[in-house]
Structure formats: structure tokens, C-alpha cells
Structure 1
Amino acid sequence: MIDINNDWKFELVDKLENGHLFEYDELKMRDINVPHDYSIEQPMDWSGGSDGCVGYARGGLAWYRKHLHVDSDILYNKKVFINFDGIYNRSHIYFNEQLVTFHPYGYSPCLIDVTPYLKEGDNLLAVYVDHSRACDSRWYTGSGIYRKVTMHVLPKTYIPVWGARITTECSSSQFAKVNLSMDFVNELDYDKSLRVVTSIISPTGDFVTEVSSEILVSKIAELKQTAEITNPMLWGIYQGHRYVAITKVFDGDYCIQSKETVFGIRYFHFDVDEGFFLNGNNELIKGVCLHHDAGLVGSAIPNDVLRRRLEMLIKCGTNAIRTAHNPYSADFFDLCDEYGLLVQEEFYDEWDFPKGKKFNQKETLYDYKFHGHDEFFREYAKEDLQNVIRRDFNHPCIIQWSIGNEIEWTYPKYNNATGYWSANAGGGYFFSEPPYSVAEIREICSKLPKEHIEVGKTAKMLAQWTREMDTTRPIIANCILPSASYESGYVDALDMVGFSYRRIVYDRSHQYYPDKAIMGTENVGQWHEWKAVLERPFISGIFLWTGIDYVGECGGRKHQNSTARISPSGLIDVTGFDHPSFHMFKALWRENEPELFIATNTLEKSVYDLKDGKLVQRPGLPAWDRRLWSWQDMNNHFNYKLGEDVVIEVYSNCEEVDFYQNDELICHQFEAENVDRIYKCSFKYKGGQVKVVGIKNGQAYESILQEALPATDILISVDKTEISANFDSVVHVVAQLKDKNGLDVNFQDEEIEFLTKSEDGVIRFLGVDNGSPMYQATYKNPKIQTNRGRALMIIGANRPGIIKVCATIKGSLSNVIDIHVLE
């Protein structure tokens, strides 16, 4: 595998030009490396050309060009393939002026054979990207060659790029059987006899065993090998033990191909009554949904950005990711393998019919810029889906294939069968069971006229294509109206059923449809969702919407005369800073580790009233078990007006908590007193500090939040002081406002400026952000307003050197940190 991500040419264009021709003027093009997202580097469009569904990002038309040198040995003796891990979207790929393929789906890999187009010397690879439909999604997509590109030079008789598959059989940690299956292709005009030797290397780098086989390849052949391992190191949650199968193909004594396949040994199943079992242990899936952008870097995401995000989610107890609502990059799955994170990989958000990009559900607004992928679905779905499985088959992290997300909205005839939209129901499906019984829904569905395209037919088609590639993982889908989907034929195609915001029908579905396992696959980040899991052994777990805030899906959300660009439903904001809900779920999911987090606000701005000295839910607001995506407005500071009524919330897994203001005991509470799992107290603000002391397993823990003075200084911190000069290696620089006593200032915001200094050409500036959904300035300006006292800058490097980093506030300079850049 050869990395061909550097030294590309790029140009945004107004119309299709001859960018695939050698004669095209490259002097007017920019020098870039890929991955590259040309939406994130453009200013946001508030003029009407874009929309909140994609965070007001611009799309556009673009050309990419790269020159490749080919020598005579490659030309006459080799096969050459190029793999694009992701191009958004509707890309035309040319090689030496010839169209090789059209690839419309922006999330699936595209592997092309360029052998027929090769010539000795200079060769031209050109890609035309048509993202003129800038709002073709319900979330931010990015534009361009936003994932990595690799070239694969293979012999004329070869194992294809995705031609090796490994499955494992084990029922304990004592013994495992490793089954290797390899495809062979022979493009010579005579049969080829080969010797194939596979060595297994342990997660610690030690040789384990070796298998040798002979194979005669005429045109296409499959070779199966089996190896046995005693006392294997099992891959599991937070245990990213991975083996490597090194396969060498010999023609006589000469090795013509060497291929490494990384895999893990684990066994799992979903039980209809007892939930999820991994390596013999009953585990709860503590999952989050993620969209594929990463804030200020858009969709061209360095691995270090992914690492920081995944590590933050792990801190709160997350053990699973749902790739909402599309396949992710190969790098993402490599990292989940490494960290021991479970993954549900999802294929599609739309099938035969489009969703409304502005308002969800079925599309009703017909506008060119909103047209999505549905028009290409029938022609390209099989190739896209199966290529994703080919690429990702060997990842131990993947435990489910999801064929669709809330697809029912686009096949609406079955939805009315639930009774939710009858005159007496009014569409309230989140917290009430269907008005119609199972028998009534079944009868209504059975009488509906059948059409050429049916949700059940399409589901079975996708499931069949999936099973053609893999039968070791269950097929699931995220069903928004499972009561209808059980009767429409949709669920018949699935191995298990995912529920989208439908905890209210867990019991009903388990009672009437007991043969298929069920779980939450999209759930609000509230205690009531997790409570429903703890009370039902047959529910394997949930996936919260979402783990991290994301750009887009925010059309029409207004605040202070600004239009939001970010959907703030995550446990973490787009910069990686924690929301209060992060600590709530850390208390729930890291139940054996003490958690004691303080959040504050005024009584007036809280969700409570004070009645007889106790905090009660304010009338007219959703009760704790009806709260949805938005967490109540809470602060991470203790700065208010003297005498003002303040509310303190504490998210904790301690059995009891004491509240103190300036060492005066205000109240004492037990966990059982708070059905919402939130300790809460109100008192008159006196300044100073608030302290809480929790008791867990007989041991005391405390947390303190102090009143800060106005900001006079700024402190920067970095997540590393040494990086490499490549795309994946970056530094996160966090700026925190400070008062004269060194306390964090989170009640005040100021304009700051990040400063960097190095030799020319060393710094690669990725951008700045503050995490606010309302932040509208460009990511590329190092001057930024803080949000809750903080801001983030991300930088990388183009070549070795030293980068000095600092920040200023009102002329005052922060500390200076040196970043050392290695080769």
C-alpha cells in the first residue's frame, strides 16, 4: 500500500471544465495535500445559498489532480489499484484523460483498477467533485477528497485489496480457531501454482503459529486456511488486543505478494431475554451516536482529533459508537479496534425516497440544493454496501450492520397504521404507546395496497446483500415507528431491532414479538433512557443522541438574533469540552468510580421553583422523565449577585451528598430522594465557594467550585508537546481565562488571539473554535471570542522544527509552550 495523499493540485470552479486533460493549466490551481475538505475552509453562507441543515456550509464544484510516475516494470508486470476512502460527492474519477468511474455516494470507499490506463512515465489522476447540491444532507458533510487515498501495486496473480477475510471461533479464553479465507485473481493467460504461507503474530508482537498451503489459480479461486491458538488474548471492551495475519504468496521461492490482515478474537451474541454477551460476559452497551464531522476541521479529520474525542467519550464510560448515519473512515475503525470500542456501522439515512433536509421526515421541499442520494440508491446501493463490508469485515470492533436510519418517514403509508396521527392522538409518539393494538395495526397494514417499492422489499434486498458478505454479525436498523415496522415487512429482514426514541414500547414489543432481540439505537441523553435499560434485562443498551455536538441539523434554531450552526445535543461540545450531561452519564456509566460534579445557575433561569424550602419542577416544563435532547441551562462557575437565589445541581453516583456554602452546611440528601438522579439545592448567594461532599462505599469525596474575579490573564495548555510532520499528528491548544489568583474564569468571555511562531513553512494552522452553537466567525482567524471562558486552536506541522504557541488577552501574554516537530 502506497500513500498518495501529498502533492495534489486543487481548484474550485464555476462549471465543468477540462480538468482531466493534461493540457489543463495547473498554474491557477492550489497546492494541497489530502484529506481535504473545501467546505470547512470557505466562509459560512448566511445569504440563502446554504442552510442550517448543513451548518450554513458552502459546497461547490472542484477539480483535484495528481501526477504519478510509472516505470516499465509496473507497466508490464503489475496491476495497479487506487482506493479513495471517501469523496463527497458525485465524483467523476479520470486516469490519463479517461473516465474510470462515476461514484455518487460520499461515504463509501471507491476502489478503481487503473491498469488499463497506465503509460510509462507521467500519469495523471484527476477527480471532479460535484457538490453543487450544498444542502443534500441533514447534517454537515464536507466536500472533496476528505478521506485518504492509497495506491496498491500487485502482481498479475494476486489477493485483491479487500480479498482477505478472517473469522474466529471460540467459546472461552482457553482456545480459538482462526479461519482465513482469501480470494485469488489470475490475470495471466495460463494457470498459476502458488504457495501461501500465513504467520500469526500476537498482540504483544510474538510469533504464534504458521500455516502453509498450495493453490492452483486458473482465473478466480478461494483459499481457506485454519490456525489454532491456545490461551488467546481476547479483544473486548477497552481491551484492544489485535493479532496480525501476515500472508506471503510465493511463486516458487520468490515472494510475489505480502499482505497483513489485522483481526481480533472475540465472541458475542444477543439474547432475546438477557441482552448482549461479549466473551461470555453479560455487558450493557453504553453507546453514543456520532456524526462524522469534527468541528473546525470539518470532515477531513486527523487521527489525533479522533483520538482526543474517543478518549473523552471513554472517560464518561462510553463503550460503543453508532456511525450515524453512514459508513465512517477506515482510520476510525482502526482506532475503535485499538481502544476496544464496540461499533454499529450504519449504511444509509435514505433509501428509495428522500428525507426533508430542513425539517426531517419525508421531503416536501423540492429545491435542487436539497436533493440527496436517493436518485442513485437503486443503481449503486449494492456496490456501495458490499464494498463497505469488504473494507471493514476484519474489524473486531464492528458488532452490527445497520441498514438504515428512521427510514419509515419516507414510506409514510404504514405510519398512520399506528394510530399516532389519528384525530385523538395528535402524533405524540415519544412517550405514549400506540393508540391501536397490535392486532389492529396488523389488520390495517395487511389491507394497505402493495406498491412496486415497499419498505419491506427494500429492507430484504439490503439484508440479502449484507448476508452475502457476512453472516457473523446481526443486521439491525434504527426504527422510529417499530410498531408499524413489525407489520410492514421491515423487521422481517432484520436479525434484531433498534428503537429510535421508543423506550415506551420496549415491554409491548418484547411481549408480542419475543423472537427478536431489541435495544435502543437512538436515545436522548437523559437518565430516564438509561433507567429503562437497567430495569429490563432484555434491552442490550442504548446509543445516545449524541456523544458530541455536530455541525448542521440546526435550521431555524434562533438565539440573540443569530442563527445556530451546531446542534448542541452532545455530552461534549465540538471543541471537546464537556457539557453537564457528560458528568451525568459518567456517574451512571462509571458506576464504580466516584463522580461528583457541580453545576449552577440562578433560580430564575433554572427549571425549578422553590416551594416550602424545596426545589420542585417548574410547571409547564417537561418532567424529568419527559426531557429530550437539551440539557437544562447550567453553568460551571460560582459567580452571581449577592443575595440572589441560586440553584446547585450535583451529578453523582455517591449514596449521599452534603452541600456547603463557605463551610456552612446547607442541606444533606440521599440518592433515593431524587428520582431524577440529580442532587439539587437552593440558597441565597453569599460569594466565596460551594463545596459538596459525597459518600460512596463508606469513603468521602469532595468537589469545590469557587467564586472567581474578573479575567486578567490567560493560560494555555496542550495535549502534547511533540508531534510528527504529517496529516494525522496535531496539537490541541486550549486557552482558559484566569483571574489574578489563578482561578478559572468561566462566567466572562473576552476576545483572545492565539499566536504561533516558527520558521517559515513549519506550521499547519487548522483553525479555532469556541464550541458555541452561535459562533459565526471563520475558523481560520486566530482571533476568537471565548465561550464560557475557553477556546480551542488546532495546529499541525508541514516539516520538522519548533513551534512556539501562546495567546493574548487585552495585551497580556499567556505562558509560552514549545511544540517539537519530528520527521
Structure 2
Amino acid sequence: MRQLTCNIYWKLLAVCAFLLVITPINKCHAQRAGGSHTLNFDFDWRFHLGDIAGASEMSYDDASWRQLDLPHDWSIEQPFDLDNPSGWRGGYLPGGIGWYRKTFEWKKQKDSHVMIQFDGVYMNSEVWINGHYLGKRPYGYISFEYDITPYLKTGKNVIAVKADNSRLPSGRWYTGSGIYRHVWLRVTGAIYIPQWGTYITTSNVSPQKADVHIQTEIQNKSNVARVIRLQTDIFSSDNKKVLTQSERVTVDTGLTNWRQKMVLPNPRYWSPETPEIYKVVHRIIYSDNKEESYISYFGVRTIEVNAKDGFVLNGRRIKLNGVCNHHDAGPVGAAVPEDVLYRRLKLLKAMGCNAIRTTHNPAAPELYAMCDTLGIMVLDEAFDGWDKPKAPYDYGLYFKEWWKKDLTDFIKRDRNHPSIIMWSIGNEVPRFNVELQKHLVEVVKSLDTTRPVTQARSGEGRYVDVVGFNGEGEMPGVLETFHQQHPDKPLLGTEITHTLQTRGVYYARTSYRTRDFPAPWEEGVKWEDFKSKVFPIPDLSEKEVFKKQSIFYQSSYDNAIVRIGVRDQHNRTEAFPFFIGTFRWSGFDYLGEAAIQPARTANFGILDLCGFPKDHYYLYQSLWSSTPMVHLLPHWTHPGMEGVTIPVVVYSNAPEVELLLNKRSLGEQTMDTSRQLVWMVPYEPGTLEAVARKDGKIVAKTSVTTAGAPAAIRLIPDKQQVVADKRSVIHVEVQITDAQGIMVPEANNLVKFKLKGPGKIIGVENGDIIDFSSMKAEERKAFKGKCLVMIQTTLEPGNIELTATSDGLKSQTITFSSLSKSNKK
């Protein structure tokens, strides 16, 4: 895994820019892909929850409003309430109407143009500058820009934003509310490259060379045609200039489209293993030698998809080993700091995941930049549904009017990212018509012809390049039958497979959702009629050996399924050349869409709401990763079960594994197509150890040991040093241990947190889907021995001290260094 010292790659490749005409000077988060004067505009906003008359006017007095920084999600700050109209779809959290205002000083400059860019506002956003109405965007996941030049004044200026998420449910899962992504201010001259104005593709790719095609839009806002010099430089990932080209361009008033071709020698391919990124720097140079620069990024790679070879990247056949991810992240809701997102992506990468589907909407721009540098492929999805709402007040109400504009902006925003290997135009679209599918595909193809197009649950898939299957593709015979009928169509598991598990919970007997814990839409379905549609999993024992816990919790063996388990699905994916891969539902637990009510989520994730791995994480690692590993389950603390035979399961990518109990060998087994090894072990306290071997040599070990009574708290941070930038986040795993330091797997102690120094607690979580405690408090009960606290820095450098206490337990205090940016190594 490539190590990054910053959150996103433009932090590495560009320096912070400040405009002295803005006072007070806003701390520059990072220059991103775009113009040389693209400034972060997140800090020092005022916020009011609730509609309020006159808030769009410049003269309105907002002094009593709450001061905060963006990104911000007001829904996640509110208490859970089973009476909230968001209901089980939205995790019982509220919506509402929120107002944001930002006051700043400005000095008008001749020929300067200023745009304000929003990466995402949920939803029905309306924006004003100095009382002038700029526009409305209903879609809560789309990025957009307004030109504020005509309305700026020298002196005081006010931006006002209204977000209206008052009609709920507006989605089938937790959406968040407010300006939950970054805001940017872009300042240019009279001639500039518009937002998303570059389009970079490659052709004739070989180890010796690659043709780089650059299409550039140049906007001339002056009243006359101008002659400029356009200098284009291409830099490699180690920031060495590899190509340069300079030419005179006559730019008429309005928009000019300029095309360039450059031949790149010895290109470095982008792939999951070698995520090489190239940077394009455009410099617009005026006759008086003044200049502006614009940065774009691209990668060199080839994609082929067909039913015979499957998915072929750079001439090599690979399977898409992917996960679906919603945009929220546990206790921070929809307003996800970069450190939080980056941690999540690194966890997936370490699991062996090579692809992500952005379910079911455009993601934050920084996700794609991270995937570019980490080497994670992306299936980029535009919409959940189309013109027929799936939740009473979702985007379907606005689709007919807005889909073409939103789809165009979506494709233009993202199409330079090498990590994006496919577009999706929709998900489980109710009663979709084929003609509308055709129109959406035509718009995508008019903007980008370099990637295939799919749709999750594509139907007959007449106009898509790759036919997507969700749950229906998990049923016996469905993929095979479709392939027989359409032998030339490559197929993709856009949402396969669905299994459920709760961290630390185990049942030896298999459960099927439809039979044992039906979702609301499965009520009334007879198991006798449905069971032919599942791939049955044998029980691990004739009688249940574990005590039944809450009906909301599911087993962490691979035996709580909807239609097919992980191991059976993996074997099918490997067996079908025409089936190019799967996107598991889901990578992480997410808020809302709770199949059993009332709960906060449905437990589909491989990782829980804390980002703590469940046992399935290691199952996938054994299937998708080549790094030697071994994992065993369950834990080995079962008081009162002495002598009871417990199924012990081992996952490994090594060919042989030996199991030992208290140093006594229980035998060695060889991995086969069952993808797991099972020993039936009479329980006795002590240490259970798994030793993995290849060619007789030990390649990996793991063990679990019986824990005693809870005695202490252990704090495990993911970093010791951070930057004092109001951005950096420390994740601290909190474990309840016995006197010997062994985690107690059933501990549920209440842990209280006290923080000193320049930091703040931005979230607490434990992964328990039926714990409706506040995620913004300074305490949390442990769940299955663990919980999480998240700390964010302020602008002040210094030491941050976290103390965790719990009645009857030994407390722990740890200290972090928050460094000024100039001192960060």
C-alpha cells in the first residue's frame, strides 16, 4: 500500500495559495485540481437550524447564530427519535431546514472573476450573494458552481445558503442534512479554464509510448478576442516534468474548445498495484507576461470488457473484488473528514478490496483522489432511482427536470480520474423504461467514451455495456440463464452478495433472512416458496451451542445470509469468465435502511459503524489478498460452557493450517473449495492458536485467549502526531481488558472521556446497531469489548490529552502532539 503523508494527492503536488484580498484570511486547506487560486472556504460560517424570514438578505443580523466550520451535517447532531419521519429508512434522525451565512471582506480587482463551488449540499440548496439569488440545486449529492463576480462589492460581502431537507424520508438510508462537503472560492482573470474544463484521455498505449489527448475549454469574459500563450506541462508522480508544449491561441469571446495531443514516452501504467498519477499544468500567459495556472490529473491505463475475457485492465484479466459504500461514516454522519475517509479506504485496501461502488450517488471529490493514489478502482454511480421516487420525497420528484444537467456535471467532474473504471446510471430503478435508459447512456457516451456503462439491476440491459445484477443475481441459475440468452454481454454483480453479521456474535446454526428475520418487504413471504432461491449453508452443529442474543444481531460465521454466502459466491465468481466481479453489500455498516426495526442499520457491513472489522473482513482477506494471513473464530471466552463442543472456524490463504488448544495439536487441515476450515472443539479455557503453513513453513499465526473479569481500559490510537489544522482526526480504539491485558469480548462497561488541550471530540461509537445513544457525547458503552472515540484538532498546536475512565476499571491517559503545519515532518 502506498503511504500518503497527506489526505489527498493534490496536497502533495501543489502548494497552498492565499489571496490577500480576503480578510480575515481563511486557512487554506489545500489546493485541489483546478485553478491556481482555488481556496478553501469552509471556515467561520454561521448556522441556524430552522427556517427564518429574511436570512438571505445582506442586512440580516446573524450574530446570535451558531459559529461553525464546514463540512457540517446537522442531522447527526440531533437525538435519535423513533417518531422522526425519516423512520427506519433514515435511521430515525431528523431533517429540517437549515441556514448558513458567511461574511467576508473583498477588494474588487479589474478583470478578476470569482466563482463559489459547493462539493455537495443536502438537499434543495438555494444560494444568495449580498441578497442576489444565484440559483437552486435539488440534488443533494451533486457538485455545482455559481459565478458571484457581478454581485461582489469592495468591503463586506455575505453568502447565504438555505438547505431544505424537511420532507422525509428523502432517501432509503441516512442522507445527512446541510453543507456536508467542502466549499471553495475560485478566483481567475478574464480568460480562464472553467470548472471541470479539461478532459484528458489516452490512446495507442504501449510500454513504449502513449498518446495523451487534452481537450480544454477556455472562457473569455472580456469584450474582445485575445491572444494568449497556452503552455502545457505534464509531470510524473515523482513530480518530474516529462512533457511540455507551448502554443499561441486566439480566444474569441465566450467559450473556446482547444485540443492538444502529446506523446508520452515510456508511460507508467495506473493499476491497483501501481497507482501512477500524472499531473497536467496548464498555464495561461498574457501578453504582459501575467499568468494563471490550472492543474488536472490523469492516469495511463487501458480497459476492455467482454463476455469471453471478462474485465481486462492493461491487458491483464482481473476480477472486480469490490464493495458498495454509502457516503456516511458512523458518528460523523455525512460530513466526513478526509482522515476518516482515508482510514476507511486503507482498511478496505488491506482487506484485498480492489474496487468501490459509490452507492447510490456521486461521492465527495476527495474520495476519487484517494482512490487514484491508493489504487482502488471505482464504479461511479449517478443516481439511486430515476423519475419514480423510491422514498416519498427523494430526488425522483425532480428527476425529469434535472437529470440531464446533473448527469452532465457528474461525468465532467469525475472523468479524468483513472480510478473510475465504469459508470452506473442507476440502481434498482422501479418500472424503468428502456428508452430512458437509452437517453441516459447517450448522455454519458457524449461526454466520455473511454469507460463502459452499467446499471444496477439492468433488466435486459439493452443499452448498457455491462449488465448489472443485484440480489436477483444471487439466486441459483439466474446468471447462467441470462448468459445463455445473451452470450455476448459481460455481467457484473453490482450488489452481490448480501450477508449479515454482528461483530462478536456467533450462532452455529444457519439463518436465512426471509425465514428467520424478514425485512419489511418480505413479510408474508412463505419460506417453502422462497427456499429454492437460496444457496443453503450447512449448520455448524445439530443444536445451537451459543446463547441466543438480540434478534437484531446476526452470526459472524458465514451463515447469516439473504440468498448466498460469501464463500459460495466467491466460487461462482471465479468460475464464470463472463462474470467480471462483485460489489459486496456493503463495505461498512451505514445508518438507516434497517431491515429489522427499530435499529440504526441492517448489519450488512464487513466493518461496523466504528470501522472495526468483523470476522468477514478476514474471510474476504483470505479470498482477495495474497499477503499471508490466518484468522480464527469465535473468541475463546465462554464461561459456563466447559465441555460444550464449539465450532472453531479458520480462514487463511495458506494451504495448510494446524489448530492447537493449550499447546495441544488438534490436527492439521488442508484448505479446499469450502474456503474455510472447521474443527469441533470441546471448550476449555486457555489459548486457541492457528498456525498457517505453506510448503511446510510457517507463514502466519494467530491466537485467542480466554479473558477474565473486566479490570482496565486500553487506548489504541491510529496516530500519535497530527496537524493543528481543524481537519486532522485521531481514531482511538477503546478496549476493556482483564488484569492480564486480554480484551474481554463480552464487556459492555460505560466509558467516559475527558479531553485536555487543543482538540475536540467529534464522535463516539460502539458498533451496536440498537444503541441509540448520542454519537456526539463524551461517553459510550463498550459493545463486545470495544468502542471508539474520534478527536479533531483545532488551529492551536500543543499536546492533546485523552483520559478514559469507567467505574471499577483502571483508567488510561494518552497524549498526542498537535503540530503546526510548518513543523509537520
The bucket for the TM-score relative to the shorter chain is 0.7 to 0.9
Within 5 Å, give how 1:475-494 maps onto structure 2: 475-479=453-457, 485-486=459-460, 491-494=461-464
CA distance in 2, matches of 1:515, 1:647: 44
Partner of 2:818: 821
Partner of 2:759: 763
TM-superposed CA distance for 1:253, in Å, is 4.2
Partner of 2:740: 741
Amino acid at match of 1:325: H
CA distance in 2, matches of 1:681, 1:478: 39
Answer with 251-260 or 705-714: which moved more.
Answer: 251-260
Amino acid at match of 1:381: W
The answer (yes or no) to whether the contact 1:653–1:696 under 8 Å persists in 2 is no
The answer (yes or no) to whether the contact 1:197–1:247 under 8 Å persists in 2 is yes
TM-superposed CA distance for 1:16, in Å, is 4.4
TM-superposed CA distance for 1:182, in Å, is 0.5
CA distance in 1, matches of 2:420, 2:640: 48
TM-score, normalization: structure 2? 0.84
Q: Which runs of 5+ in 1 are unaligned?
A: 358-369, 412-453, 601-634
Amino acid at match of 1:464: E
Within 5 Å, give how 1:188-337 maps onto structure 2: 188-219=222-253, 220-337=255-372
Residues 218-248 of structure 1 show CA distances to partners (whole Å, capped at 9, x for unaligned) of: 1321111222221122111042211111110
CA distance in 2, matches of 1:802, 1:134: 43
Partner of 1:371: 393
The change in CA–CA distance for 1:253 and 1:22 in structure 2 (over 3 A counts) is closer
TM-superposed CA distance for 1:638, in Å, is 5.7
TM-superposed CA distance for 1:651, in Å, is 1.5
The answer (yes or no) to whether the contact 2:84–2:93 under 8 Å persists in 1 is no
The answer (yes or no) to whether the contact 1:152–1:161 under 8 Å persists in 2 is no
Amino acid at match of 1:516: K
Partner of 2:532: none
Answer with 248-257 or 32-41: which moved more.
Answer: 248-257
TM-superposed CA distance for 1:159, in Å, is 1.1
The answer (yes or no) to whether the contact 1:327–1:347 under 8 Å persists in 2 is yes
The change in CA–CA distance for 1:636 and 1:289 in structure 2 (over 3 A counts) is farther
Partner of 1:641: 641
Q: Which runs of 5+ in 2 are unaligned?
A: 1-37, 500-565, 821-825
Partner of 2:669: 669
Partner of 1:460: 438
CA distance in 2, matches of 1:147, 1:698: 52
CA distance in 2, matches of 1:188, 1:42: 48
Q: Does 1:511 align with 2:508?
A: no
SS class of match (1:532): helix
Partner of 1:803: 800
CA distance in 2, matches of 1:638, 1:299: 38
Amino acid at match of 1:741: Q
Residues 614-662 of structure 1 show CA distances to partners (whole Å, capped at 9, x for unaligned) of: xxxxxxxxxxxxxxxxxxxxx5756553223322111222323333322
CA distance in 1, matches of 2:169, 2:789: 27
Partner of 2:202: 168
CA distance in 2, matches of 1:66, 1:81: 15
In the alignment, which of 43, 46, 49 is matched to residue 79 of structure 2? 43
SS class of match (2:227): strand
CA distance in 2, matches of 1:818, 1:664: 42
TM-superposed CA distance for 1:809, in Å, is 2.2
Amino acid at match of 2:116: I
In the alignment, which of 578, 602, 607 is matched to residue 572 of structure 1? 607
The answer (yes or no) to whether the contact 1:323–1:346 under 8 Å persists in 2 is yes
Partner of 2:176: 142
The answer (yes or no) to whether the contact 1:249–1:256 under 8 Å persists in 2 is yes
CA distance in 2, matches of 1:145, 1:712: 43
The change in CA–CA distance for 1:764 and 1:578 in structure 2 (over 3 A counts) is same
TM-score, normalization: structure 1? 0.84
Partner of 1:111: 145
Partner of 1:474: 452
SS class of match (1:588): helix
Q: Does 1:594 align with 2:634?
A: no
Q: Does 1:77 align with 2:77?
A: no
TM-superposed CA distance for 1:463, in Å, is 1.0
CA distance in 1, matches of 2:622, 2:151: 58
The answer (yes or no) to whether the contact 2:216–2:257 under 8 Å persists in 1 is yes
Answer with 809-818 or 228-237: which moved more.
Answer: 809-818
Partner of 1:12: 49
CA distance in 2, matches of 1:567, 1:127: 34
CA distance in 2, matches of 1:813, 1:225: 66
Partner of 1:3: 40
In the alignment, which of 353, 365, 369 is matched to residue 388 of structure 2? 353
SS class of match (1:28): coil
Partner of 1:722: 721
TM-superposed CA distance for 1:727, in Å, is 4.3
Partner of 1:88: 122
The answer (yes or no) to whether the contact 1:518–1:538 under 8 Å persists in 2 is yes
The answer (yes or no) to whether the contact 1:640–1:685 under 8 Å persists in 2 is no
TM-superposed CA distance for 1:812, in Å, is 4.0
The answer (yes or no) to whether the contact 1:213–1:225 under 8 Å persists in 2 is no
Amino acid at match of 1:210: T
SS class of match (2:495): strand
CA distance in 2, matches of 1:665, 1:29: 67
The answer (yes or no) to whether the contact 2:205–2:211 under 8 Å persists in 1 is no
Partner of 2:693: 695
Cα RMSD for the two superposed structures:
1.7
The answer (yes or no) to whether the contact 2:756–2:802 under 8 Å persists in 1 is yes
Residues 90-116 of structure 1 show CA distances to partners (whole Å, capped at 9, x for unaligned) of: 111111112110110000001111122
SS class of match (2:792): strand
The answer (yes or no) to whether the contact 2:83–2:92 under 8 Å persists in 1 is no
Residues 433-465 of structure 1 show CA distances to partners (whole Å, capped at 9, x for unaligned) of: xxxxxxxxxxxxxxxxxxxxx611111111111
TM-superposed CA distance for 1:572, in Å, is 0.8
CA distance in 2, matches of 1:726, 1:554: 36
TM-superposed CA distance for 1:755, in Å, is 2.2
The answer (yes or no) to whether the contact 1:598–1:636 under 8 Å persists in 2 is no
CA distance in 1, matches of 2:189, 2:137: 26
CA distance in 2, matches of 1:736, 1:572: 17
CA distance in 2, matches of 1:640, 1:588: 35
The answer (yes or no) to whether the contact 1:639–1:707 under 8 Å persists in 2 is no
Partner of 1:495: 465
CA distance in 2, matches of 1:170, 1:293: 40
Amino acid at match of 1:18: G
CA distance in 2, matches of 1:253, 1:234: 39
Q: Does 1:679 align with 2:677?
A: yes
Partner of 2:423: 401
CA distance in 2, matches of 1:16, 1:239: 52
The answer (yes or no) to whether the contact 2:629–2:701 under 8 Å persists in 1 is no
Partner of 1:380: 402
Matched length = 710
Partner of 2:823: none
CA distance in 1, matches of 2:103, 2:404: 32
TM-superposed CA distance for 1:811, in Å, is 5.2
TM-superposed CA distance for 1:186, in Å, is 1.4
TM-superposed CA distance for 1:48, in Å, is 4.2
Amino acid at match of 2:409: N
The change in CA–CA distance for 1:49 and 1:536 in structure 2 (over 3 A counts) is closer
TM-superposed CA distance for 1:205, in Å, is 1.2
SS class of match (1:756): strand
The change in CA–CA distance for 1:151 and 1:54 in structure 2 (over 3 A counts) is same
Partner of 1:611: none
SS class of match (1:777): coil
TM-superposed CA distance for 1:377, in Å, is 0.3
SS class of match (1:400): strand
CA distance in 1, matches of 2:776, 2:69: 17
Partner of 2:91: 55
